[in-house]
A and B are shown apart, each in its own frame.
Chain A
Amino acid sequence: MAVAVEQRREQEARPAARRRVAAKGNFAVAMAVRDVDIDVAAIYPITPQVQIAEKITEYVANEELDAEVIHVESEHSAMSAVVAAAATGARVFTATASQGLEFMHEMLYIASGLRQPVVMALTTRALSAPINIWNDYSDAFGMRDTGWIMIFSENVQEAYDNVVQAYRIAEHPDVLLPVVVTLDGYILSHTVEPLEPLGREEALRFAPKRRYGYRPTLNPDMPMSFGVVGVPAWYHEIKYQQVRAMRESRRVIEETGREFGRRYGRSYGFIEEYMMDDAEVALVSLGATASLVKAAVNRLRKEGVKAGMVKIRVYRPFPAEELVKALENVEAVGTLNRAISYGGVVEDPLFMEVATALALRGIVKPMASFIHGMGGRDIFVRDIVAMYKKLMEHAKAGTSAKRTYFYGVKGHNPDDDQKM
């Protein structure tokens, strides 16, 4: 008992940023939201993000967070309410997954079109039908063209850090775009991992609130109309401004990730390279799946295979330059995704962009796309090892896979995909 008390005292004496706790991804997100002192949250339950909503209301109930919680009657209203609250000048938050994201889809475009710094957490989950509550990235990839900055988290710590950074990015006057931070449903949302939260003081120092009026808001003393009719004479220009904002957000995202590292020792870039220095074959992946790929790389390295991995952390804006730089010297490039673009050139939407980024820079090399893990299907390290081996075959033959390989499908040989 005495030892426990002593340990606790010691822990409390340490600086806030160094205090370690054990937390699920959902709680890490809620903690981050509390630490940045949001003003308005709109919450609606959906699996697997519901614990975020629960925890936020608990913080409000216990006066650990001074915020208005709107118990909306749907996700569509959740996004509507936070966009309106952001337009009024508040720091806002909501969280969703899967069908909830699809239900608010219309409002995703309105959030970015109105340039509101909304921050949302997405516990990535499969889409119906058939209904499935487990992880894949179908929901996240469905919002890729909605004008949101998209940051994928690989672990619980990243989920926390990304949410704090999201506010600094979204509210930056040169950006003013909504940001979504993803965490893999269950795999991160419900998994307890060590976490070093910054604490309120430090989080607010990193993502400080700007004075009221630094950006246009619904202010009776300075009345403005928001969401007016974009007539053909102006709509095109307004959309181009959005394109520019997204392009220019790169600078702020980059600076934010670097500054985070300078202060807290955890640097963040657009991508993360793993064993890429001498890699001959590389897989590109994202989210918690990247951790599995790293494990596969470790196993292959023991076998003497020069495998490497590139994790895409920021998917929007897409880090083409960084990615190409990382991949230009490998012999073959593959992508591993948990989302499908039915009827696409290949079925992996991530691959299309990786291939485009390389092709536009005149880089042509054997490539292959892999899809595994839909709707919570477990991806084993041995599956990823097999993908690397398939990739090496392509490297050797000097050919690309014309179709996406589907791994992990019962009774299906991925090689058959090339015949269809």
Chain B
Amino acid sequence: MEALKKPVRTIWDIPRPEQFAPGHNMCQGCAAALIMRMLMKVVGKDAIVVMGTGCVEVTTTPFPYTSWKNPWLHLAFENTAAGASGVEAALKALQRKYGVFKDRYIKVVAIAGDGGTFDIGLQSLSGMMERGHDVMYVVYDNEAYMNTGIQRSGATPLGAWTTTTPVGKRMRGEPRPKKDIIGIALAHRIPYIATANPAYPTDMMEKFRKAYETRGPSLVHVYSPCTPGWRIRNEHTIHVSRLAVQTGMWVQLEIENGKPRVTVKVPKRKPVREYLRIQGRFRHLTEEEIQKIQRMVDEYVEEINRWVGEQAIGPVVEE
């Protein structure tokens, strides 16, 4: 199966062949499973996947089984980008010196979770981006260390309950806002950066396609609800994903060569309460705490609008 060449506008543009096989051990309703399936449809068979330790790695490759129809490599937790750099350099040398894969473009796709990207893998990611390797890096962000059982990461949002940010007398969930990984990628001036969300599959796949087409480092930051970790119903994965965008908690961005744009505009924003209330991890929040998060999102939205030079995300409209 070839990599996707034409833009993804409707679901009819989504290729039928699968590169990601079923039968894996991912949870019911896991967004990462959907994301992997869509991603592999886009990149096709001429791609080498390098994956960091995490949920997807452990659930898709219990020896002797594998869900990957592509060549796939897992080294460790913190070095996905370093491994991808090594594969890319080796491909270059093999092509140049021995004519292996002559006249073929083999894409290196790095995949890691938020812990493996925002926290422990940040150094190797920075190195890869700074050196300019031709690697497409996809981070599936479920906003905590879910593989080890819901511990907070640098990507955990303000107020969220996790097993290491419990709700008690002195602590009321995660006390700090989420780390700005897009800002970090921007600081490396890489050619393509995007945020994506499984509730908008064509937008997500189009971003995967553009990252694939990029020659040089690219980063796609994908929102990935975790049903057990977020304490949401299995059938609410897409519902929660869509609410994240509709409330401005998550903004669908694309930054091509430093030029930002919002790909999914939200003229009328919903209050964050609607997003928070359906997730068990935010159940403890008081109205006051919800208002604090609302003000933070308002400021974030304002910042985005200023940056993209238009009112891409509108004001909150209570219904």
A, B bound: yes
Contact B86 A220 (CB under 8 A): no
Contacts of B79 in A (CB 8 A): 76-77, 80, 107
B264 in contact (CB, < 8 A): no
Contact A231 B63 (CB under 8 A): yes
A66 in contact (CB, < 8 A): yes
Give per-residue flags for B38-78: 1 if the beta carbon is below 8 A from chain A beta carbons, else 0: 00000001111010000001100111101011111111101
A373 in contact (CB, < 8 A): no
Contacts of B106 in A (CB 8 A): 220
With known contacts A76-B82, A80-B124, A228-B61, A39–B94 Cβ distance under 8 A:
yes
Contacts of B50 in A (CB 8 A): 84
Within 8 A of B (CB), among A46-91: 66-68, 70-74, 76-78, 80-90
Contacts of A73 in B (CB 8 A): 123-124, 126-127, 130
Q: How far is the CA of A223 from the CA of B40 in the complex (A)?
A: 14
Contact B64 A90 (CB under 8 A): no
Contacts of B16 in A (CB 8 A): none
Q: Report the minimum CB–CB distance from A264 to chain B (whole Å).
A: 26
Contact A90 B94 (CB under 8 A): yes
B90 in contact (CB, < 8 A): yes
Contact B68 A225 (CB under 8 A): yes
Contacts of A16 in B (CB 8 A): none
Q: Report the minimum CB–CB distance from B246 to chain A (whole Å).
A: 37
A275 in contact (CB, < 8 A): no
A379 in contact (CB, < 8 A): no
Closest partner residue, chain A, to B107 (CB atom): A220
Contacts of A74 in B (CB 8 A): 123-124, 127
Give per-residue flags for A87-123: 1 if the beta carbon is below 8 A from chain B beta carbons, else 0: 1111010000000000000110010001000000000
Residue count of chain A within 8 Å CB distance of chain B: 47
Contact B97 A81 (CB under 8 A): no
Contact A40 B89 (CB under 8 A): yes
Closest partner residue, chain A, to B61 (CB atom): A228
Closest partner residue, chain A, to B19 (CB atom): A223
Contacts of A87 in B (CB 8 A): 73, 87
Contacts of A110 in B (CB 8 A): 75-76
Closest partner residue, chain A, to B99 (CB atom): A212
B85 in contact (CB, < 8 A): yes
With known contacts A66-B97, A220-B48, A234-B64, A85–B127 Cβ distance under 8 A:
no
Contact B86 A83 (CB under 8 A): yes
B312 in contact (CB, < 8 A): no
Contact A81 B82 (CB under 8 A): yes
Closest partner residue, chain A, to B59 (CB atom): A229
> What is the size category of the interface that chain B forms with chain A?
35 or more
Within 8 A of A (CB), among B67-126: 68-76, 78-79, 81-87, 89-94, 96-98, 100-101, 106, 123-124, 126
Contacts of A76 in B (CB 8 A): 78-79, 82, 124
Give per-residue flags for B146-167: 1 if the beta carbon is below 8 A from chain A beta carbons, else 0: 0000000000000000000000
Contacts of B89 in A (CB 8 A): 40, 68, 70, 81, 85, 90
In the assembled complex, 18 residue pairs joining A and B whose CB atoms fall closer than 8 Å, in A order, are A68-B90, A70-B85, A73-B126, A74-B124, A76-B82, A84-B50, A84-B87, A85-B89, A87-B87, A106-B76, A220-B70, A223-B69, A225-B61, A225-B72, A228-B61, A228-B63, A229-B62, A234-B63
Q: How far is the CA of A230 from the CA of B82 in the complex (A)?
A: 22
Within 8 A of A (CB), among B170-219: none
Contacts of A234 in B (CB 8 A): 63-64
Contacts of A358 in B (CB 8 A): none
B131 in contact (CB, < 8 A): yes
Contacts of B101 in A (CB 8 A): 220
Contact B75 A227 (CB under 8 A): yes
Contact A83 B75 (CB under 8 A): yes
A399 in contact (CB, < 8 A): no
Contacts of B96 in A (CB 8 A): 66
With known contacts A67-B93, A73-B124, A77-B124, A226–B74 Cβ distance under 8 A:
yes
Closest partner residue, chain A, to B50 (CB atom): A84
Within 8 A of A (CB), among B2-53: 45-48, 50
Closest partner residue, chain B, to A74 (CB atom): B123
Q: How far is the CA of A234 from the CA of B64 in the complex (A)?
A: 8
Partner of A77, one of B62, B63, B70, B85: B85
Contacts of B126 in A (CB 8 A): 73
Q: How far is the CA of A68 from the CA of B47 in the complex (A)?
A: 20
A224 in contact (CB, < 8 A): yes
Contacts of B75 in A (CB 8 A): 80, 83-84, 107, 110, 114, 227
Contacts of B72 in A (CB 8 A): 218, 223-226
Contacts of A222 in B (CB 8 A): 71
A31 in contact (CB, < 8 A): no
With known contacts A220-B70, A229-B63, A88–B76 Cβ distance under 8 A:
no
Partner of A72, one of B85, B90, B94: B85
Q: A70-B131, A73-B124, A106-B76 are in contact. List 19 more A-B contacts (CB 8 A).
A: A39-B97, A40-B89, A73-B126, A73-B127, A81-B85, A82-B86, A84-B84, A85-B87, A88-B86, A89-B90, A107-B79, A218-B48, A220-B46, A223-B68, A223-B70, A226-B71, A227-B75, A229-B61, A238-B63
